Amino acid sequence: VEQRVYNFSAGPAVLPVSVLERVRDEMLCLPGAGCSLLEMSHRDKRFLEILHGAEAGLRDLLSISDDYTVLFLQGGSRLQFSMIPANLLRGSSTAAEYMLTGSWSKKAIEEARKEGPVNVCWDGKSDNYASLPAAGQCNVPDDAAYLYYCSNETIQGVQFPSEPECPQDVPLVCDASSDFLCRPLDVAKYGILYACAQKNAGPAGVTAVIIRKDLLPRGSEDLPGYLQYRNHAEADSEWNTPPTFAVYVMGLVTEWLASQGGLAAMETLNRRKSQMLYDVVDQFPQFYQGHAQADCRSLMNVTFKLPNDDLQAEFLSQAAANQLCNLKGHRSVGGIRASIYNAMPEAGVAALADLMRDFANQHA
């Protein structure tokens, strides 16, 4: 393939073309630096500008106050599955409360159990993780170590429409890996909000961790240095060498988002894009079986099944012939998954919706 296709990959995923062009143009020589960013010290003044620019970009988009530190870490979101309980649960007498809503929260729970007591306050197993807790369904004690949830389960395609209720003194912790920057949110509601970049915010290699400063002292002294949030906070994300290239691209993505009108504009666009696909699912409910219940359908990962494996294979092959690629669902659940992150052009989603309609008309 020589040409760019419509790439529905769940992550690493589509990036804005203008960002890729800028990266290409600056690859050999970052303006003013005399070398590539790839060749530059992370202590270089020019890189520090980039690091602080990426932070400022996130702070502007999400209106993050000075009560929060923004960290750029390595190890992906899965290291956060361990770092969060290592800092906030190790040695705690009360349990951390976890909402089990799909594959990623399940893995987070497995890691947290290694650090301390965990209580699963909601489990979506009975309907195969197609729904999310409604208001009042989770009983979170006032002294819980924290309440953890995953705002968008990338594999199932279920997304919280807004934050779950959380007692005032309990830090709310959110894995926003696959819906970060897809809509505005109120950071003040969170203790920790984190996201790996490689879905909606940049390339693989960097994870943004937004943490309320009063939580930093909670990490016990005996943690391995990298796992201790305050080491990174005190060193301005330079406790060790940060993933410089990934931070640079994430900064460019925040600039692109601002140029598109910010997160409110993104939400409008993402609602429109996802609705195009859900409309077809609803038009042919016997043919396309959507996974998520209507009230928690993801704006980012649209998941559905076709009546049988043969039709599914045929659908994927017709899609690929139309330059609509990487639509196969996660190996653990099968089906189709269209990941339509911020940078997926509306025309790509429209082309997929057209194909779905034609295909159903041919085969239903």
Annotated binding-site ranges for L-glutamate:
43
Considering only residues 154 to 173 of the shown chain, the ones binding ligand PMP according to CB under 6 A are 154
- 213 a catalytic residue: no
CB of 181 to ligand PMP, least distance (A): 14
Q: Looking at beta carbons only, is 40 or 193 nearer to ligand PMP?
A: 193
184: preceding bond cis by omega (within 30 degrees):
no
C-beta of residue 210 within 8 angstroms of C-beta of residue 231: no
Q: Looking at beta carbons only, is 19 or 206 nearer to ligand PMP?
A: 206
The CA distance from 248 to 202, in Å, is: 9
- The answer to whether 12 contacts ligand PMP (rule: CB under 6 A) is no
70-78, 217-225, 270-278, 316-324 -> range binding ligand PMP (CB under 6 A): 70-78
- The answer to whether 72 contacts ligand PMP (rule: CB under 6 A) is no
Binding site per annotation, positions for pyridoxal 5'-phosphate = 104, 154, 175, 198, 240-241
CA atoms within 13 A on the CB side of 189: 13
- 273 a catalytic residue: no
Which of 6, 7, 8, 11 touches ligand PMP (CB under 6 A)?
11
Tokens of 339: 């990941």
Q: What H or E segment, with its residue span, contains residue 70?
A: strand 68-73
Considering only residues 181 to 210 of the shown chain, the ones binding ligand PMP according to CB under 6 A are 196
The CA distance from 252 to 20, in Å, is: 9
What are the residue ranges of helices labelled H in 37-170? Answer: 45-62, 76-88, 103-112
- 127 a catalytic residue: no
CA 102 to chain centre: 14
Q: What are phi and psi of 8, to 5 degrees?
A: -95, 25
C-beta of residue 178 within 8 angstroms of C-beta of residue 130: no
- The answer to whether 150 contacts ligand PMP (rule: CB under 6 A) is yes
32-40, 46-54, 71-79, 278-286 -> range binding ligand PMP (CB under 6 A): 71-79
Which of 69, 77, 159, 270 touches ligand PMP (CB under 6 A)?
77
- The answer to whether 111 contacts ligand PMP (rule: CB under 6 A) is no
The CA distance from 327 to 312, in Å, is: 10
C-beta of residue 101 within 8 angstroms of C-beta of residue 153: yes
Of the residues 199, 273, 305, 328, which is catalytic?
199
Which residues belong to the active site?
Answer: 104, 175, 199
Q: Which residues bind ligand PMP (CB under 6 A)?
A: 11, 76-78, 104, 150, 154, 175, 177-178, 196
